[in-house]
Structure 1
Amino acid sequence: MAKKTYIKAITEGIDIALAEDPKTLVFGEDVGKNGGVFRATNGLQEKYGVDRVFSTPLAESGILGMSIGLAATGWRPVPEIQFMGFTFEAMDSIAAQMSRIRFQYNGTKHAPITIRTPYGGGTHTAELHGDDLENFFVGIPGLRVVAPSSAYDAKGLIISAIENNDPVLFLENLRLYRSVKGEVPDDKYTVPLDKANVVQEGTDVTIIAYGGEVSEAQKAAKKLAKDNISAEIIDLRSLYPLDTDTIFESIKKTHRVVIVQEAQKMAGVGAQVASAISEGAIMYLDAPVTRVAAPNSVYPFPQTENVWLPGARDIEDAVREVINY
Protein backbone atom coordinates (compact mmCIF):
# COMPACT_ATOMS: atom_id res chain seq x y z
CA MET A 1 0.00 0.00 0.00
CA ALA A 2 1.40 3.37 -1.03
CA LYS A 3 0.44 7.01 -0.50
CA LYS A 4 -1.43 8.35 -3.51
CA THR A 5 -3.13 11.57 -4.45
CA TYR A 6 -6.89 11.88 -4.67
CA ILE A 7 -6.74 12.12 -8.47
CA LYS A 8 -4.34 9.19 -8.81
CA ALA A 9 -6.75 7.07 -6.76
CA ILE A 10 -9.60 7.97 -9.12
CA THR A 11 -7.47 7.05 -12.14
CA GLU A 12 -6.65 3.68 -10.59
CA GLY A 13 -10.31 2.99 -9.88
CA ILE A 14 -11.33 3.75 -13.46
CA ASP A 15 -8.44 1.61 -14.72
CA ILE A 16 -9.66 -1.36 -12.68
CA ALA A 17 -13.23 -0.93 -13.96
CA LEU A 18 -12.01 -0.85 -17.57
CA ALA A 19 -9.85 -3.93 -17.03
CA GLU A 20 -12.62 -5.97 -15.42
CA ASP A 21 -15.51 -5.19 -17.76
CA PRO A 22 -15.02 -4.78 -21.54
CA LYS A 23 -18.41 -3.05 -21.66
CA THR A 24 -17.11 -0.11 -19.60
CA LEU A 25 -16.51 3.03 -21.68
CA VAL A 26 -14.86 6.30 -20.60
CA PHE A 27 -15.39 9.52 -22.54
CA GLY A 28 -15.81 13.28 -22.34
CA GLU A 29 -14.18 16.52 -23.40
CA ASP A 30 -10.39 15.97 -23.78
CA VAL A 31 -10.69 12.66 -21.90
CA GLY A 32 -8.92 10.58 -24.55
CA LYS A 33 -5.38 11.42 -25.64
CA ASN A 34 -5.06 14.36 -23.24
CA GLY A 35 -6.30 12.40 -20.22
CA GLY A 36 -8.89 15.01 -19.28
CA VAL A 37 -8.38 18.62 -18.27
CA PHE A 38 -7.03 17.48 -14.88
CA ARG A 39 -5.43 14.26 -16.23
CA ALA A 40 -7.79 11.97 -14.32
CA THR A 41 -7.85 9.57 -17.29
CA ASN A 42 -4.20 9.97 -18.16
CA GLY A 43 -2.79 6.93 -20.00
CA LEU A 44 -6.08 5.06 -20.21
CA GLN A 45 -6.65 5.58 -23.94
CA GLU A 46 -3.18 4.28 -24.67
CA LYS A 47 -3.90 1.22 -22.52
CA TYR A 48 -7.45 0.40 -23.65
CA GLY A 49 -7.69 1.97 -27.10
CA VAL A 50 -9.71 4.73 -28.73
CA ASP A 51 -12.86 2.61 -28.86
CA ARG A 52 -13.15 2.49 -25.07
CA VAL A 53 -11.55 5.76 -23.92
CA PHE A 54 -12.21 8.71 -26.19
CA SER A 55 -12.78 12.44 -26.42
CA THR A 56 -16.09 14.02 -27.38
CA PRO A 57 -17.20 17.40 -28.74
CA LEU A 58 -17.87 20.17 -26.23
CA ALA A 59 -21.54 19.29 -25.86
CA GLU A 60 -22.64 18.16 -22.41
CA SER A 61 -26.16 17.29 -23.55
CA GLY A 62 -24.68 15.11 -26.28
CA ILE A 63 -22.27 13.40 -23.88
CA LEU A 64 -25.02 12.35 -21.50
CA GLY A 65 -27.57 11.67 -24.22
CA MET A 66 -25.10 9.26 -25.79
CA SER A 67 -24.52 7.73 -22.36
CA ILE A 68 -28.22 6.88 -22.06
CA GLY A 69 -28.23 5.20 -25.47
CA LEU A 70 -25.12 3.21 -24.65
CA ALA A 71 -26.52 2.10 -21.30
CA ALA A 72 -29.75 1.00 -22.98
CA THR A 73 -27.77 -1.26 -25.31
CA GLY A 74 -25.68 -3.00 -22.68
CA TRP A 75 -22.71 -0.70 -22.13
CA ARG A 76 -21.51 0.80 -18.84
CA PRO A 77 -20.66 4.46 -19.62
CA VAL A 78 -18.42 6.65 -17.46
CA PRO A 79 -18.85 10.14 -18.96
CA GLU A 80 -17.03 13.19 -17.66
CA ILE A 81 -18.57 16.65 -17.48
CA GLN A 82 -15.53 18.91 -17.38
CA PHE A 83 -16.89 21.17 -14.62
CA MET A 84 -20.04 20.88 -12.53
CA GLY A 85 -21.14 24.32 -13.67
CA PHE A 86 -21.76 22.85 -17.12
CA THR A 87 -24.15 20.11 -15.96
CA PHE A 88 -27.14 22.38 -16.58
CA GLU A 89 -26.56 21.83 -20.29
CA ALA A 90 -27.47 18.17 -19.72
CA MET A 91 -30.08 18.45 -16.97
CA ASP A 92 -32.81 16.90 -19.10
CA SER A 93 -30.72 13.78 -19.66
CA ILE A 94 -30.11 13.45 -15.92
CA ALA A 95 -33.43 14.43 -14.36
CA ALA A 96 -35.95 13.43 -17.02
CA GLN A 97 -34.30 10.38 -18.57
CA MET A 98 -31.52 8.30 -17.01
CA SER A 99 -32.75 8.64 -13.42
CA ARG A 100 -36.24 7.40 -14.39
CA ILE A 101 -35.36 4.30 -16.40
CA ARG A 102 -35.48 1.88 -13.48
CA PHE A 103 -38.94 3.16 -12.53
CA GLN A 104 -40.25 3.29 -16.09
CA TYR A 105 -39.41 -0.37 -16.63
CA ASN A 106 -40.38 -1.59 -13.15
CA GLY A 107 -36.81 -2.56 -12.34
CA THR A 108 -36.26 -4.70 -15.44
CA LYS A 109 -33.97 -2.16 -17.12
CA HIS A 110 -31.27 0.06 -15.65
CA ALA A 111 -28.98 2.95 -16.53
CA PRO A 112 -25.51 2.05 -15.17
CA ILE A 113 -24.02 5.49 -15.87
CA THR A 114 -21.38 7.11 -13.67
CA ILE A 115 -21.13 10.85 -14.34
CA ARG A 116 -17.81 12.21 -13.13
CA THR A 117 -17.54 15.94 -12.61
CA PRO A 118 -15.10 18.23 -10.75
CA TYR A 119 -16.70 20.83 -8.48
CA GLY A 120 -15.92 23.34 -5.78
CA GLY A 121 -13.78 26.37 -5.16
CA GLY A 122 -10.43 27.24 -3.72
CA THR A 123 -8.48 27.02 -6.97
CA HIS A 124 -9.16 30.52 -8.40
CA THR A 125 -11.03 29.30 -11.45
CA ALA A 126 -13.24 31.20 -13.88
CA GLU A 127 -17.00 31.60 -13.75
CA LEU A 128 -18.96 28.30 -13.76
CA HIS A 129 -15.75 26.36 -13.02
CA GLY A 130 -15.99 26.39 -9.21
CA ASP A 131 -19.72 26.01 -8.68
CA ASP A 132 -21.19 23.67 -6.05
CA LEU A 133 -24.50 22.55 -7.52
CA GLU A 134 -25.13 19.32 -5.64
CA ASN A 135 -28.38 20.69 -4.19
CA PHE A 136 -29.93 20.50 -7.66
CA PHE A 137 -29.27 16.76 -7.89
CA VAL A 138 -29.87 15.25 -4.44
CA GLY A 139 -33.62 15.54 -4.89
CA ILE A 140 -33.76 13.51 -8.11
CA PRO A 141 -35.23 10.03 -7.42
CA GLY A 142 -33.15 7.28 -8.99
CA LEU A 143 -29.89 9.25 -8.98
CA ARG A 144 -27.19 8.54 -6.42
CA VAL A 145 -24.84 11.38 -5.49
CA VAL A 146 -21.46 10.74 -3.86
CA ALA A 147 -18.63 13.10 -2.90
CA PRO A 148 -15.43 11.49 -1.59
CA SER A 149 -13.07 13.50 0.60
CA SER A 150 -10.08 11.14 0.75
CA ALA A 151 -7.92 9.25 -1.73
CA TYR A 152 -8.96 5.92 -0.22
CA ASP A 153 -12.66 6.69 -0.58
CA ALA A 154 -12.19 8.17 -4.06
CA LYS A 155 -10.88 4.88 -5.46
CA GLY A 156 -13.31 2.64 -3.60
CA LEU A 157 -16.33 4.79 -4.43
CA ILE A 158 -15.55 5.19 -8.14
CA ILE A 159 -15.34 1.40 -8.48
CA SER A 160 -18.61 0.96 -6.56
CA ALA A 161 -20.27 3.66 -8.67
CA ILE A 162 -19.26 2.09 -11.98
CA GLU A 163 -20.37 -1.38 -10.86
CA ASN A 164 -23.72 -0.04 -9.61
CA ASN A 165 -26.69 -0.40 -11.97
CA ASP A 166 -28.26 2.98 -11.22
CA PRO A 167 -26.92 6.33 -12.41
CA VAL A 168 -24.40 7.94 -10.06
CA LEU A 169 -23.22 11.55 -9.97
CA PHE A 170 -19.62 11.26 -8.78
CA LEU A 171 -18.39 14.60 -7.43
CA GLU A 172 -14.65 15.25 -7.39
CA ASN A 173 -13.60 18.24 -5.30
CA LEU A 174 -11.17 20.35 -7.30
CA ARG A 175 -8.95 21.45 -4.48
CA LEU A 176 -8.46 17.87 -3.28
CA TYR A 177 -7.11 16.52 -6.58
CA ARG A 178 -3.44 16.96 -5.72
CA SER A 179 -3.52 18.42 -2.21
CA VAL A 180 -4.84 15.27 -0.53
CA LYS A 181 -2.79 12.09 -0.23
CA GLY A 182 -3.52 8.88 1.61
CA GLU A 183 -2.77 5.20 1.88
CA VAL A 184 -4.50 3.47 -1.03
CA PRO A 185 -4.26 -0.27 -1.83
CA ASP A 186 -3.04 -1.16 -5.31
CA ASP A 187 -5.64 -3.91 -5.67
CA LYS A 188 -9.38 -3.60 -6.13
CA TYR A 189 -11.62 -2.71 -3.19
CA THR A 190 -14.98 -1.01 -2.88
CA VAL A 191 -16.57 1.53 -0.54
CA PRO A 192 -20.37 1.41 0.00
CA LEU A 193 -22.31 4.04 -1.90
CA ASP A 194 -24.73 4.66 0.97
CA LYS A 195 -22.56 4.71 4.09
CA ALA A 196 -21.12 7.71 5.92
CA ASN A 197 -17.70 7.52 7.56
CA VAL A 198 -16.78 8.57 11.10
CA VAL A 199 -13.46 10.23 10.32
CA GLN A 200 -12.73 11.19 13.91
CA GLU A 201 -14.46 10.15 17.12
CA GLY A 202 -15.44 12.70 19.75
CA THR A 203 -17.80 13.32 22.64
CA ASP A 204 -18.83 16.99 22.74
CA VAL A 205 -20.10 17.87 19.26
CA THR A 206 -20.75 16.22 15.90
CA ILE A 207 -19.43 17.98 12.81
CA ILE A 208 -21.02 16.72 9.59
CA ALA A 209 -19.27 17.58 6.33
CA TYR A 210 -18.40 16.24 2.88
CA GLY A 211 -15.93 16.84 0.07
CA GLY A 212 -13.42 19.61 0.64
CA GLU A 213 -15.02 20.70 3.91
CA VAL A 214 -14.00 17.50 5.72
CA SER A 215 -10.39 18.67 5.85
CA GLU A 216 -11.57 22.08 7.07
CA ALA A 217 -13.51 20.33 9.84
CA GLN A 218 -10.37 18.43 10.82
CA LYS A 219 -8.40 21.67 11.05
CA ALA A 220 -11.11 23.17 13.25
CA ALA A 221 -11.18 20.07 15.46
CA LYS A 222 -7.45 20.36 16.14
CA LYS A 223 -7.88 23.92 17.41
CA LEU A 224 -10.93 23.01 19.46
CA ALA A 225 -9.04 20.14 21.09
CA LYS A 226 -6.64 22.66 22.61
CA ASP A 227 -9.60 23.93 24.64
CA ASN A 228 -10.67 20.38 25.55
CA ILE A 229 -13.57 20.36 23.08
CA SER A 230 -13.83 16.89 21.58
CA ALA A 231 -15.33 16.91 18.07
CA GLU A 232 -16.65 13.89 16.21
CA ILE A 233 -16.39 14.32 12.44
CA ILE A 234 -18.71 12.53 10.03
CA ASP A 235 -17.91 12.49 6.32
CA LEU A 236 -21.23 11.96 4.55
CA ARG A 237 -19.60 10.46 1.43
CA SER A 238 -23.11 9.79 0.08
CA LEU A 239 -25.25 12.91 -0.37
CA TYR A 240 -28.14 10.85 -1.66
CA PRO A 241 -29.16 8.60 -0.08
CA LEU A 242 -28.21 9.93 3.36
CA ASP A 243 -26.87 7.57 6.01
CA THR A 244 -29.03 8.86 8.84
CA ASP A 245 -28.22 5.90 11.10
CA THR A 246 -24.59 7.01 11.46
CA ILE A 247 -25.65 10.62 11.99
CA PHE A 248 -28.21 9.78 14.68
CA GLU A 249 -25.87 7.46 16.58
CA SER A 250 -23.30 10.23 16.78
CA ILE A 251 -25.81 12.82 17.97
CA LYS A 252 -27.02 10.45 20.69
CA LYS A 253 -23.47 10.62 22.06
CA THR A 254 -22.52 14.28 21.54
CA HIS A 255 -25.94 16.04 21.80
CA ARG A 256 -24.73 18.88 19.56
CA VAL A 257 -24.28 19.15 15.80
CA VAL A 258 -22.74 21.50 13.24
CA ILE A 259 -23.40 20.80 9.55
CA VAL A 260 -20.90 22.10 7.00
CA GLN A 261 -21.19 22.50 3.25
CA GLU A 262 -19.17 24.46 0.71
CA ALA A 263 -22.25 25.31 -1.37
CA GLN A 264 -24.65 28.18 -0.77
CA LYS A 265 -26.78 27.75 2.33
CA MET A 266 -30.25 27.99 0.80
CA ALA A 267 -31.86 24.61 -0.01
CA GLY A 268 -28.55 22.80 0.34
CA VAL A 269 -27.49 19.34 1.45
CA GLY A 270 -27.05 20.74 4.95
CA ALA A 271 -30.71 21.75 5.03
CA GLN A 272 -31.74 18.18 4.24
CA VAL A 273 -29.44 16.80 6.92
CA ALA A 274 -30.88 19.29 9.42
CA SER A 275 -34.40 18.26 8.44
CA ALA A 276 -33.57 14.58 8.93
CA ILE A 277 -32.14 15.35 12.37
CA SER A 278 -35.24 17.32 13.35
CA GLU A 279 -37.41 14.34 12.40
CA GLY A 280 -35.29 11.55 13.86
CA ALA A 281 -32.90 12.85 16.50
CA ILE A 282 -34.15 16.17 17.87
CA MET A 283 -34.83 14.55 21.26
CA TYR A 284 -31.08 14.01 21.72
CA LEU A 285 -30.03 17.63 21.10
CA ASP A 286 -28.96 20.05 23.83
CA ALA A 287 -28.51 22.94 21.37
CA PRO A 288 -30.04 24.02 18.05
CA VAL A 289 -28.70 22.54 14.82
CA THR A 290 -26.12 24.95 13.43
CA ARG A 291 -25.13 25.20 9.77
CA VAL A 292 -21.99 26.56 8.11
CA ALA A 293 -22.22 27.32 4.39
CA ALA A 294 -21.37 29.82 1.68
CA PRO A 295 -23.43 33.01 1.25
CA ASN A 296 -26.53 32.91 -0.94
CA SER A 297 -24.90 34.58 -3.91
CA VAL A 298 -23.30 33.51 -7.17
CA TYR A 299 -19.77 32.18 -6.93
CA PRO A 300 -17.40 35.17 -6.63
CA PHE A 301 -14.41 36.29 -8.64
CA PRO A 302 -11.16 34.47 -7.74
CA GLN A 303 -9.84 37.47 -5.80
CA THR A 304 -12.55 37.13 -3.15
CA GLU A 305 -13.29 33.39 -3.07
CA ASN A 306 -11.22 32.77 0.06
CA VAL A 307 -13.54 35.09 1.99
CA TRP A 308 -16.64 33.54 0.43
CA LEU A 309 -15.76 29.88 1.04
CA PRO A 310 -16.50 28.36 4.47
CA GLY A 311 -13.28 27.55 6.31
CA ALA A 312 -11.91 26.07 9.50
CA ARG A 313 -12.41 29.33 11.42
CA ASP A 314 -16.11 29.43 10.51
CA ILE A 315 -16.54 25.84 11.68
CA GLU A 316 -14.64 26.53 14.91
CA ASP A 317 -16.83 29.55 15.67
CA ALA A 318 -20.01 27.55 15.02
CA VAL A 319 -18.87 24.76 17.34
CA ARG A 320 -18.09 27.20 20.13
CA GLU A 321 -21.55 28.69 19.69
CA VAL A 322 -23.33 25.36 20.19
CA ILE A 323 -21.01 24.36 23.04
CA ASN A 324 -21.82 27.58 24.88
CA TYR A 325 -25.55 27.47 24.17
Structure 2
Amino acid sequence: MKLRKNKLAATVIVLSVAFLGVIIYTINNEEKGAVSSGVGSAINPLQKVVYSFNNKIKGTLDFFLNFSEVKNENDELTKENIELQNKLLEYDTLKEENDRLREVLNFKNSKNDYSYIGCNIIGYSGESYSDGYIIDKGENDGILKGMVVIADKGLVGQVTSTGTNWAIVESLLNENIAISVKVNSTGETAGILKGYVTRSNSGLTKITNLSLDSEIKEGDVIVTSGLGQVYPKDIRIGEVVSVESDEIKVMKTAIVKPYVDFDKLEDLFVIIPNETREVKYDN
Protein backbone atom coordinates (compact mmCIF):
# COMPACT_ATOMS: atom_id res chain seq x y z
CA MET A 1 0.00 0.00 0.00
CA LYS A 2 2.80 2.31 0.90
CA LEU A 3 4.61 1.42 -2.33
CA ARG A 4 1.61 2.37 -4.43
CA LYS A 5 1.43 5.76 -2.70
CA ASN A 6 5.10 6.40 -3.44
CA LYS A 7 4.67 5.55 -7.16
CA LEU A 8 1.66 7.80 -7.36
CA ALA A 9 3.55 10.64 -5.70
CA ALA A 10 6.48 10.15 -8.06
CA THR A 11 4.16 10.20 -11.05
CA VAL A 12 2.49 13.42 -9.86
CA ILE A 13 5.86 15.07 -9.37
CA VAL A 14 7.08 14.10 -12.86
CA LEU A 15 3.89 15.30 -14.47
CA SER A 16 4.06 18.55 -12.50
CA VAL A 17 7.63 19.22 -13.56
CA ALA A 18 6.79 18.45 -17.19
CA PHE A 19 3.75 20.72 -17.11
CA LEU A 20 5.79 23.50 -15.53
CA GLY A 21 8.41 23.11 -18.24
CA VAL A 22 5.75 23.43 -20.91
CA ILE A 23 4.41 26.59 -19.26
CA ILE A 24 7.89 28.14 -19.03
CA TYR A 25 8.68 27.26 -22.67
CA THR A 26 5.42 28.77 -23.85
CA ILE A 27 5.98 31.95 -21.85
CA ASN A 28 9.53 32.28 -23.17
CA ASN A 29 8.38 31.79 -26.76
CA GLU A 30 5.63 34.36 -26.38
CA GLU A 31 8.11 36.88 -24.91
CA LYS A 32 10.57 36.19 -27.71
CA GLY A 33 7.80 36.60 -30.25
CA ALA A 34 6.80 39.88 -28.71
CA VAL A 35 10.38 41.12 -28.62
CA SER A 36 10.97 39.92 -32.16
CA SER A 37 7.78 41.62 -33.30
CA GLY A 38 8.79 44.82 -31.56
CA VAL A 39 12.25 44.83 -33.09
CA GLY A 40 10.73 44.06 -36.50
CA SER A 41 8.35 46.98 -36.15
CA ALA A 42 11.24 49.27 -35.25
CA ILE A 43 13.53 48.03 -38.03
CA ASN A 44 11.00 48.00 -40.89
CA PRO A 45 10.98 51.82 -41.47
CA LEU A 46 14.80 51.86 -41.47
CA GLN A 47 14.83 49.00 -43.95
CA LYS A 48 12.50 50.98 -46.22
CA VAL A 49 14.80 54.04 -46.10
CA VAL A 50 17.89 51.97 -46.82
CA TYR A 51 16.14 50.15 -49.65
CA SER A 52 14.91 53.42 -51.13
CA PHE A 53 18.38 54.99 -50.83
CA ASN A 54 19.98 51.99 -52.52
CA ASN A 55 17.47 52.19 -55.34
CA LYS A 56 18.21 55.89 -55.81
CA ILE A 57 21.96 55.26 -55.91
CA LYS A 58 21.43 52.46 -58.40
CA GLY A 59 19.18 54.71 -60.49
CA THR A 60 21.76 57.52 -60.41
CA LEU A 61 24.56 55.19 -61.43
CA ASP A 62 22.41 53.78 -64.23
CA PHE A 63 21.64 57.32 -65.38
CA PHE A 64 25.29 58.33 -65.55
CA LEU A 65 26.27 55.10 -67.26
CA ASN A 66 23.46 55.47 -69.79
CA PHE A 67 24.21 59.20 -70.19
CA SER A 68 27.82 58.38 -71.03
CA GLU A 69 26.71 55.83 -73.59
CA VAL A 70 24.16 58.23 -75.10
CA LYS A 71 26.75 61.02 -75.21
CA ASN A 72 29.22 58.76 -77.01
CA GLU A 73 26.53 57.73 -79.48
CA ASN A 74 25.57 61.37 -79.97
CA ASP A 75 29.21 62.32 -80.60
CA GLU A 76 29.48 59.56 -83.19
CA LEU A 77 26.25 60.66 -84.88
CA THR A 78 27.43 64.28 -84.89
CA LYS A 79 30.72 63.23 -86.47
CA GLU A 80 28.91 61.16 -89.10
CA ASN A 81 26.54 64.06 -89.79
CA ILE A 82 29.44 66.46 -90.34
CA GLU A 83 31.10 63.98 -92.69
CA LEU A 84 27.86 63.56 -94.64
CA GLN A 85 27.41 67.34 -94.84
CA ASN A 86 30.96 67.74 -96.13
CA LYS A 87 30.40 65.03 -98.73
CA LEU A 88 27.10 66.64 -99.76
CA LEU A 89 28.79 70.04 -100.04
CA GLU A 90 31.58 68.49 -102.08
CA TYR A 91 29.01 66.78 -104.30
CA ASP A 92 27.05 70.03 -104.79
CA THR A 93 30.26 71.89 -105.62
CA LEU A 94 31.31 69.27 -108.16
CA LYS A 95 27.80 69.22 -109.63
CA GLU A 96 27.74 73.01 -110.00
CA GLU A 97 31.18 72.96 -111.61
CA ASN A 98 30.09 70.15 -113.91
CA ASP A 99 26.94 72.05 -114.90
CA ARG A 100 28.98 75.19 -115.62
CA LEU A 101 31.44 73.28 -117.77
CA ARG A 102 28.61 71.52 -119.61
CA GLU A 103 27.02 74.87 -120.49
CA VAL A 104 30.34 76.17 -121.81
CA LEU A 105 30.94 72.92 -123.68
CA ASN A 106 27.55 73.23 -125.35
CA PHE A 107 28.46 76.72 -126.55
CA LYS A 108 31.90 75.54 -127.62
CA ASN A 109 30.39 72.72 -129.64
CA SER A 110 28.11 75.19 -131.40
CA LYS A 111 31.06 77.53 -132.02
CA ASN A 112 33.84 75.03 -132.68
CA ASP A 113 35.69 77.38 -134.99
CA TYR A 114 37.08 79.23 -131.95
CA SER A 115 39.55 78.31 -129.20
CA TYR A 116 38.83 78.84 -125.50
CA ILE A 117 41.09 79.65 -122.55
CA GLY A 118 39.81 79.09 -119.03
CA CYS A 119 40.85 81.58 -116.35
CA ASN A 120 40.17 82.59 -112.77
CA ILE A 121 39.13 85.92 -111.32
CA ILE A 122 41.82 87.27 -108.97
CA GLY A 123 40.34 90.67 -108.20
CA TYR A 124 38.26 93.67 -109.26
CA SER A 125 39.68 96.29 -111.58
CA GLY A 126 37.77 99.00 -109.70
CA GLU A 127 35.63 99.29 -106.63
CA SER A 128 33.16 96.58 -107.64
CA TYR A 129 32.36 93.94 -110.24
CA SER A 130 30.55 96.54 -112.37
CA ASP A 131 33.97 98.09 -113.06
CA GLY A 132 35.43 94.81 -114.25
CA TYR A 133 37.60 91.87 -113.19
CA ILE A 134 41.28 91.01 -113.16
CA ILE A 135 41.96 87.50 -114.49
CA ASP A 136 45.04 85.28 -114.06
CA LYS A 137 45.84 84.86 -117.77
CA GLY A 138 47.43 87.36 -120.15
CA GLU A 139 49.56 87.88 -123.23
CA ASN A 140 51.75 84.87 -122.47
CA ASP A 141 48.60 82.75 -122.79
CA GLY A 142 47.52 84.34 -126.07
CA ILE A 143 44.99 86.77 -124.62
CA LEU A 144 44.69 90.15 -126.37
CA LYS A 145 42.69 93.32 -125.95
CA GLY A 146 39.23 93.09 -127.54
CA MET A 147 38.72 89.38 -126.94
CA VAL A 148 35.30 88.32 -125.68
CA VAL A 149 34.77 86.66 -122.30
CA ILE A 150 31.93 84.31 -121.36
CA ALA A 151 30.77 82.25 -118.38
CA ASP A 152 28.49 79.24 -118.19
CA LYS A 153 25.30 81.35 -118.24
CA GLY A 154 26.31 83.68 -121.04
CA LEU A 155 28.22 86.82 -121.98
CA VAL A 156 30.43 88.49 -119.37
CA GLY A 157 32.19 91.23 -121.33
CA GLN A 158 35.41 92.06 -123.14
CA VAL A 159 39.15 92.21 -122.45
CA THR A 160 40.12 95.89 -122.30
CA SER A 161 43.78 95.68 -121.26
CA THR A 162 46.45 93.00 -120.84
CA GLY A 163 49.76 92.23 -119.17
CA THR A 164 52.10 89.29 -119.50
CA ASN A 165 50.17 87.10 -117.05
CA TRP A 166 47.02 89.09 -116.33
CA ALA A 167 44.20 90.90 -118.10
CA ILE A 168 41.30 93.19 -117.25
CA VAL A 169 37.78 92.25 -118.31
CA GLU A 170 35.11 94.94 -118.41
CA SER A 171 31.65 93.48 -117.88
CA LEU A 172 28.61 94.32 -119.96
CA LEU A 173 27.27 96.16 -116.90
CA ASN A 174 29.76 98.92 -117.65
CA GLU A 175 28.39 101.81 -119.69
CA ASN A 176 31.66 101.87 -121.68
CA ILE A 177 30.77 98.51 -123.28
CA ALA A 178 28.39 98.65 -126.26
CA ILE A 179 27.03 95.42 -127.74
CA SER A 180 24.93 94.91 -130.85
CA VAL A 181 22.08 92.57 -129.87
CA LYS A 182 18.96 90.90 -131.25
CA VAL A 183 15.82 89.16 -130.04
CA ASN A 184 16.48 85.44 -130.12
CA SER A 185 12.94 84.29 -130.97
CA THR A 186 12.29 86.70 -133.87
CA GLY A 187 15.81 87.51 -135.08
CA GLU A 188 14.96 91.20 -134.88
CA THR A 189 18.08 93.31 -134.55
CA ALA A 190 17.19 95.05 -131.32
CA GLY A 191 19.70 97.88 -131.05
CA ILE A 192 22.65 98.56 -128.76
CA LEU A 193 22.96 97.18 -125.23
CA LYS A 194 24.91 98.96 -122.46
CA GLY A 195 25.14 98.87 -118.71
CA TYR A 196 22.29 100.49 -116.81
CA VAL A 197 22.79 101.46 -113.18
CA THR A 198 20.56 103.64 -111.01
CA ARG A 199 20.21 104.10 -107.25
CA SER A 200 17.38 101.60 -107.09
CA ASN A 201 18.48 99.21 -109.83
CA SER A 202 21.88 97.62 -110.35
CA GLY A 203 23.06 94.63 -112.30
CA LEU A 204 20.82 95.55 -115.23
CA THR A 205 21.42 96.57 -118.84
CA LYS A 206 19.48 98.74 -121.29
CA ILE A 207 18.84 98.40 -125.03
CA THR A 208 18.52 101.72 -126.85
CA ASN A 209 17.91 102.81 -130.48
CA LEU A 210 14.84 100.61 -130.87
CA SER A 211 12.25 101.78 -133.35
CA LEU A 212 8.75 102.53 -132.10
CA ASP A 213 7.33 99.69 -134.17
CA SER A 214 9.73 97.16 -132.61
CA GLU A 215 7.86 94.11 -131.33
CA ILE A 216 10.31 93.51 -128.47
CA LYS A 217 8.42 92.56 -125.30
CA GLU A 218 8.88 91.44 -121.72
CA GLY A 219 10.27 87.89 -121.48
CA ASP A 220 12.18 88.01 -124.78
CA VAL A 221 15.66 86.43 -124.73
CA ILE A 222 18.42 88.76 -125.91
CA VAL A 223 21.57 87.45 -127.62
CA THR A 224 24.52 88.98 -129.46
CA SER A 225 23.79 89.79 -133.10
CA GLY A 226 27.35 89.36 -134.40
CA LEU A 227 27.19 92.66 -136.31
CA GLY A 228 30.61 94.32 -136.69
CA GLN A 229 32.39 91.04 -135.82
CA VAL A 230 33.17 92.41 -132.36
CA TYR A 231 31.25 89.61 -130.61
CA PRO A 232 30.45 86.11 -131.86
CA LYS A 233 26.74 85.90 -132.62
CA ASP A 234 24.10 84.11 -130.56
CA ILE A 235 25.81 84.40 -127.17
CA ARG A 236 23.05 84.56 -124.56
CA ILE A 237 22.89 87.85 -122.64
CA GLY A 238 19.67 88.04 -120.68
CA GLU A 239 15.91 88.49 -120.57
CA VAL A 240 13.79 91.60 -121.16
CA VAL A 241 12.09 92.71 -117.93
CA SER A 242 10.41 95.91 -119.19
CA VAL A 243 9.87 97.99 -122.35
CA GLU A 244 9.29 101.76 -122.53
CA SER A 245 8.33 104.04 -125.43
CA ASP A 246 9.72 107.55 -125.81
CA GLU A 247 7.44 109.51 -128.15
CA ILE A 248 9.71 112.54 -128.11
CA LYS A 249 12.84 110.65 -129.20
CA VAL A 250 10.67 108.37 -131.35
CA MET A 251 12.17 105.16 -130.04
CA LYS A 252 11.77 102.39 -127.51
CA THR A 253 14.09 101.22 -124.75
CA ALA A 254 14.18 97.82 -123.08
CA ILE A 255 15.62 96.86 -119.70
CA VAL A 256 17.42 93.50 -119.72
CA LYS A 257 18.42 91.40 -116.72
CA PRO A 258 21.60 89.42 -117.59
CA TYR A 259 21.68 85.66 -117.05
CA VAL A 260 25.15 85.93 -115.53
CA ASP A 261 25.23 86.65 -111.80
CA PHE A 262 28.20 89.03 -111.77
CA ASP A 263 28.48 88.93 -108.00
CA LYS A 264 29.08 85.16 -107.98
CA LEU A 265 31.33 84.58 -110.96
CA GLU A 266 34.09 81.99 -110.60
CA ASP A 267 35.21 80.47 -113.90
CA LEU A 268 35.60 82.58 -117.03
CA PHE A 269 36.48 81.60 -120.59
CA VAL A 270 38.16 83.86 -123.13
CA ILE A 271 37.11 83.20 -126.73
CA ILE A 272 40.16 83.17 -129.04
CA PRO A 273 39.34 83.98 -132.70
CA ASN A 274 41.18 82.32 -135.55
CA GLU A 275 42.65 85.64 -136.66
CA THR A 276 44.46 87.43 -133.82
CA ARG A 277 46.40 90.10 -135.74
CA GLU A 278 43.13 92.03 -135.60
CA VAL A 279 40.66 90.60 -133.12
CA LYS A 280 37.53 89.83 -135.11
CA TYR A 281 34.97 87.06 -134.83
CA ASP A 282 33.71 85.55 -138.07
CA ASN A 283 30.04 84.63 -137.81
Sort the TM-score into its range (normalised by shorter chain). Answer: under 0.3
Higher relative contact order (CA 8 A, sep 6+): 1
Give TM-score, length-normalised by structure 1. 0.21
Q: Which has the larger radius of gyration?
A: 2
